[in-house]
Amino acid sequence: MYVPAHFAMDDGAVRELLTRHGAADLVTMTPDGLVATFLPFLHDPDVGASGALLGHLARNNDQWRRPVTGEALVIVRGPDAYVSPSWYPSKREHGRVVPTWNYLTAHVYGRLVVHDDLDWVEALVRRLTAKHEALGAPPWTVDDAPQEFVAGQLRAIVGVELVISRVEAKAKLSQNRSAADVDGVVSGLRARGEHASAAAVRATRP
């Protein structure tokens, strides 16, 4: 990933992105070429030296059966948004501005481990559910569904674990603009209802 110095993320920001994100793209190189699936992941910082991303695939999705050549890749995304040059006060000063796109992303590389194990998969599903149901009230739990139904659903998925070897991360959030231009971006994003992107830009204001 191309990461100019002013868009580099520190370790704390990377951990926050991996912890807070919802779903991401799992990309593997196989003898038949690249294969990708969008699926929910949970970050576990206590696995191995650098942590792991834990997720699950549908059993009928044969990506988990295909041999992986080299490292696997998970592409994690945070808020992203189009930025209009009309939001910059500098447009009125000199006009030397162009549109751009702001975003947060991390390319997470590592060894892919498959867990075709009901106990492992159930523990993961419970953790994923607890994470995302914490946003609602009242929260749904796995135990709210009939036990036999849950057992059938668990048999239909397979666990995957990316044991992280390295992370390349980038936060392109207008850090290369003046404070006045950043304020203009924040105001423009808020007016458009893109509050998550506005908050991300505001947090990096010079």
The CATH number covering residue 53 comes to 2.30.110.10
196/103 Cα distance (integer angstroms): 11
22/48 Cα distance (integer angstroms): 22
159 assigned to some structural domain: yes
pLDDT of residue 135: 80
38 assigned to some structural domain: yes
pLDDT of residue 126: 95
DSSP code, position 67: P
181 assigned to some structural domain: no
42 assigned to some structural domain: yes
93 assigned to some structural domain: no
pLDDT of residue 49: 78
Measured from the Cβ of residue 98, the count of other Cβ atoms closer than 10 Å reads: 8
205 assigned to some structural domain: no
pLDDT of residue 191: 96
Q: What is the mean pLDDT, run by run of 10 residues, along the chain of 206 residues?
A: 93 93 95 96 90 97 96 97 96 90 97 96 95 86 92 96 97 95 96 96 87
102/120 Cα distance (integer angstroms): 37
17 assigned to some structural domain: yes
199 assigned to some structural domain: no
- For the chain, how many structural domains are there in total? 1
Q: Which domain holds residue 115?
A: 5-82+99-175
pLDDT of residue 91: 85
Distance set, CA 176 to CA 5, 44, 148, 149 (Å): 10, 33, 55, 53
